[in-house]
Amino acid sequence: MNTIDVVEDDLSSSSSLGEVGTSKSSEDQLSNIVEVVEDDSQTELLSKEELESDIEVLLDLADENVDDSSKLPDEINSAWEKTLRGLGAEKRIPEVIPLEIKPDSFFKKFLNMINPKAFELEDYDLAKHGPLVEITLPANSAYKEMEFYNVNPPYSYIRVAYNPEIHEYLYQVLEPELSKEETRLFKMIKERLGEVMDAHLKSMNRLDSEEYLRSNVNSFLIDYRIRITTITREKINYYIIRDYLGYGEVDAIMRDLEIEDISGDGPNTPVYVYHKKYESIPSNIIFDDEDVLNALIIRLAQICGKHISIANPILDATLPDGSRIQMTLGREITTRGSTFTIRRFNENPIMPGDLVGYHTFSTAMLAYLWLAVDSSRSLIFAGGTASGKTTAMNAISTFIQPEMKIVSIEDTRELNLAHPNWIPGVTREAFGGENRGSIEMYELLKAALRQRPEFILVGEVRGAEAYVLFQAMSTGHTTFSTMHADSVSSIVHRLENPPINVPRIMIQALDIVAIQAQVKIGDERVRRCKSLTEIIGVDPRSGELLTNEVFVWNAAKDLFQYSGRSYVLDDLMESRGWDDAKVKEELQERQDVLEWSRLKNITYFRDFSKIVVAHRREPETLMKVVRQDLNG
């Protein structure tokens, strides 16, 4: 059903005027008339008699001054005369009139500027006007609905459907559908807003920006005297806000907290998502037009404050919400077309209690790491891609006391800590494709050593910065970092060989290595800490690195086993004068706190940081509450 009603006006562009034989000079001439009227417009509206008189004068002027070369056909002039004379009479505005591009619209726009007539715009109400999105699964669909939830009601919803015939899941993004006429109007409004907006949206907060865009859309409809249904206007408002303030075509996916990765592999190919529950599945978002995909790539780069072009077609950046994005533009380096990959960032990062709930770590392992952090031990989290290295490092970092100074160094911002005494550092690329002005992790790490940090967190070591990192460990700085490696031996091999070249004697400054992996348990893909290994030192006779596995994951039983010996705990007992009973008590307390936080579903990182502080400053009070809840 057509829902657009044009009142005494038209939305035709210059191309539509050209279809009826209007040359460019005619349009320019009329544009000059409009400019004169805008400069010399009167404050009072013309009466009916004055308007009819002025119409006669205008028609006479049109006959006298317009060259035959630019003169409109007689049938067009008669249409103008009929329309202009009709403006003086009162008419009832019909509720719905189909959108129709008329050749006489420009002249009527000129008259509307002389005698505008505003109309009220009703606010959208779901209960009154009905839903914007069709959420019913078609009866003849081969898919069966597995899950349905909203991400931005009443504008966007998500449905995960399953096709039993081909055994395939489909991630469906449900948004308001625009008819052909509505799409036309939306594009015209969007183009017009880009020309007339005089405010910087980044200088406003989200609510003010949305209100500013809505008011501009309403002004456009009033100025051009376009009456549309409330539902149509709300649909257009949604897409205007989505494209100006959101992430365009992938905005609904970016709002879905169940999504970890988003992968656009080129035009005419479904955008794939990695769902926490259903893993990698295709979506119903397909870029049929390559220009639309290229525009989204450029838009995403601008959101990140970066630039991407054919000359520099590769870009790694961080989105405002902290998500990592990698983009390519054009077909020079990705032959199927532009691509993008977004690694989602949780504003509320995963906490130690979450790691226990996911069975990535056991409470005993986390209690051991908590005690290791309290005793300033250096750690490296190693594993393959998407094995949870940075997630684990971020969670373990919450055990650091808030008053301690932390400096983090990353290529793209991923860490999210609640500590006030924290300096987050990120690298910077060179300007204009030159070699000057770039700031690498090596420079940031050297600068961090002069900032007197108590903890240094490095996103991932892969080059010369690793040498500085191990120098920092050797000089007494506590460091956490990540590496791509699947075992302790492969870590040592990478560290000792180019381009890192760390001497083995310096590797013994490292205390603990956590090996992460993404594995299959039944049909489910999960993350597990395969082992916690201590670096004891270097054998003086053989030169071999001595290690001790404290915890090991048993894949057959999906359980974590304690080896029975920890040199880190032995050193802690010696340095603090503790006996075995005291160490066991400290570990048990921490295990109880972690289990209590999991049962209480304490997942907000600032709340968990308060628990860590309470355990240090008011341990008796905290343990009293914990044991009362655990013991019933």
What is the rounded CA–CA span in Å between residue 605 and residue 612? Answer: 11
- Calculate the alpha carbon distances from 471 to 449, 476, 479, 507 in Å: 10, 9, 11, 10
- Give the domain ranges of the chain: 4-114, 180-343, 352-631
Asked if 158 and 252 touch (Cβ cutoff 8 Å), the reply is yes
In this prediction, residue 463 carries a pLDDT of 85
User: Taking 50 as the threshold, does the pLDDT of residue 37 lie above it?
Assistant: no
Asked if 619 and 589 touch (Cβ cutoff 8 Å), the reply is yes
In this prediction, residue 91 carries a pLDDT of 43
DSSP string, 207-241: HHHHHHHHHHHHHHHHHTTEEE-HHHHHHHHHHHH
Decide which of 186 and 29 is more confident.
186
In this prediction, residue 200 carries a pLDDT of 79
Beta bridge pairs of residue 381:
482, 514
**Top-tier CATH class for 352-631:** alpha beta
In this prediction, residue 85 carries a pLDDT of 46
pLDDT tens-digit readout, 103-144: 445 555 555 555 555 567 889 999 999 999 999 999 899 999
CATH architecture assigned to 180-343: 2-Layer Sandwich (3.30)
Per the prediction, the chain carries an average pLDDT of 83
Closest listed residue to residue 380, CA positions, set 531, 545, 590: 531
User: Taking 90 as the threshold, does the pLDDT of residue 460 lie above it?
Assistant: no
User: What's the mean pLDDT in 369-375?
Assistant: 96
pLDDT tens-digit readout, 489-519: 999 999 999 988 999 999 999 999 999 999 9
Question: Which stretches does DSSP call E strand in 401-484?
Answer: 406-410, 422-426, 455-458, 478-484
CA geometry: angle 242, 246, 247, nearest 5 deg? 105
What is the rounded CA–CA span in Å between residue 524 and residue 406? Answer: 36
What is the rounded CA–CA span in Å between residue 317 and residue 73? Answer: 56
What is the rounded CA–CA span in Å between residue 479 and residue 406? Answer: 10
What is the rounded CA–CA span in Å between residue 22 and residue 310? Answer: 38
The enclosing H or E element of 491 equals helix 488-496
User: What's the mean pLDDT in 551-570?
Assistant: 95
Number of H helices, E strands in the chain: 22, 20
Maximum Cα–Cα distance for the chain, whole Å? Answer: 112
What is the rounded CA–CA span in Å between residue 623 and residue 519? Answer: 35
- Calculate the alpha carbon distances from 294 to 1, 66, 338, 580 in Å: 32, 44, 6, 63
Q: Rounded to two decimals, what is the model's pTM?
A: 0.72
In this prediction, residue 434 carries a pLDDT of 58
Could you tell me if residue 464 is left (phi over 0), alpha (psi between -120 and 50 degrees) or otherwise beta?
alpha
Q: Please give the structure tokens belonging to residue 257.
A: 């907290």
Q: Please give the structure tokens belonging to residue 125.
A: 């109400």
pLDDT tens-digit readout, 18-31: 333 433 443 443 33
User: Taking 70 as the threshold, does the pLDDT of residue 530 lie above it?
Assistant: yes
pLDDT tens-digit readout, 200-229: 787 888 999 999 999 999 999 988 888 899
